[in-house]
Homo-oligomer: A and B are copies of this chain.
Amino acid sequence: MAATSTARWRRRKDERPGEILTAALACFAERGFAATRLDDVAARAGVTKGTLYLYFASKEELFKSVVRQEIVASIAQAEEMVAHSEESAAVLLERLLANWPGLIAASRIGAIPKLVLGEAGNFPELARFYLDEVVRRGTALIAGILRRGVERGEFRPALDIERAVFCVIAPVLFTMLWRHSLEPYADRPLDARALCATHLDLLLHGLSAPEPRE
Contact residue range for chain A? 35 or more
Question: Is A208 in contact with chain B by the CB < 8 A criterion?
Answer: yes
5 pairs of A and B residues whose beta carbons are closest in the complex: A206-B206, A34-B34, A118-B118, A163-B198, A170-B170
A122 at the A/B interface (Cβ < 8 Å)? yes
Copies of this subunit: 4
> A164 contacts B198, CB within 8 Å?
yes
User: Does A156 make an interface contact (CB < 8 A)?
Assistant: yes
Question: Which residues of chain B come closer than 8 Å to A186, judged between CB atoms?
Answer: 131, 135
Interface pair B149/A207, CB less than 8 Å apart: yes
Q: Are B202 and A203 in touch, CB under 8 angstroms?
A: yes
A positions within 8 Å CB-CB of B = 29-35, 90, 114, 116-122, 124, 127-128, 130-131, 135, 146, 149, 153-157, 159-160, 163-164, 166-167, 169-171, 173-175, 177, 181-182, 184-186, 190-191, 194-195, 197-199, 201-210, 212, 214
- Give Cα A135–Cα B178 distance, bound, in whole angstroms: 11
Chain A interface SS verdict (over half): helix
Chain B's nearest CB lies how many Å from the CB of A58?
A: 15
Residue of B nearest to A206 (CB): B206
Chain B residue numbers with a CB within 8 Å of A199 are 163, 167
Q: How far is the CB of A139 from chain B (nearest CB, A)?
A: 11
Chain B residue numbers with a CB within 8 Å of A119 are: 32
Residues of B near A128 (CB, < 8 A) are 185
Subset of 25 A-B contacts with CB under 8 Å: A30-B121, A32-B32, A32-B33, A32-B34, A34-B35, A35-B122, A90-B208, A116-B181, A117-B181, A118-B181, A120-B184, A127-B182, A149-B207, A154-B208, A155-B207, A155-B208, A156-B208, A159-B207, A160-B197, A164-B202, A167-B202, A170-B174, A171-B171, A205-B206, A206-B208
